[in-house]
Structure 1
Amino acid sequence: MTAIYIKDRLLSPKVVHKTPFEIVHNSKPSVKHMRVFGCQVYILTPKEKRLKWDPKARTGIFLGYEEASKAYRVYDIEAGQVVISRDVNFDESAFGLSPPITAEHADDIDFDSLDLDDEAPGQAQYKKTGKRKSRPHDEEVPAPPRTQCINGMD
């Protein structure tokens, strides 16, 4: 649903200089509320659910927007589950679990000394068949981990 929401606010190749949202609603869409996917967030723990010395917020990763309400879908790192909350503070300079990179730290990185290969270690060779690449013929592909169902949604 989030992908469609964003796509409706992008320029349409069919109509020059207009988005699908503009065509339907005759007004430009607002994108002020949109956030960077995968950025670090802090989920507020309500006063009723915390004790005196408990932290006021938990760290999480922004996953998207909730369909049925004006809330955010966030992966709560501490609880290990996806939660839906409106009380979220965003740190768009940090992604996932990595610390934020500032301009001072970016200048200190020496990219010439890094040993970067074009292929990742353990990357399987793919055989080409037609337009698509097939799975490696000599390796078993593990099944993806199952996620927990929250509020009856998958």
Structure 2
Amino acid sequence: MRVFSCLVYIQNTKTWGDKFEERGKPCVFLGYPHGQKGYRVYDLIEENILTTRDVTFVESIFPFKTTDLAKPVNTWEDERIVDVDLPEQREDMRDPGHDTPDTFNNELNSLKVVPNSQEEGIDSG
């Protein structure tokens, strides 16, 4: 099996005896034809589809590969960060039913931290 859509070179049969003329024509590998031996290729110069046996594969080059797809569409680096001045919160605007940051910090400081080894000893004993 060969890599689909890779670059291939087919033998150029129209050299007309000129030894300096190119011997290979660049094409794109399309697949295998049904009921025939050979490879189905798209000729990049004449823009037609051929079936041939004399093919040299370059499986690391893809002529129709677009480089735009390799870039991420939207990254956080592209976004602009805008500083917004927010009005300060007044005491009379606070909801009395919710904890204030001071109350939360006091509750957090009053909690006792127990290491994992002591917890396991308490649970198992």
Question: TM-score scaled by structure 1?
Answer: 0.40
Question: TM-score scaled by structure 2?
Answer: 0.49
**Which has a greater percent of helix?**
2
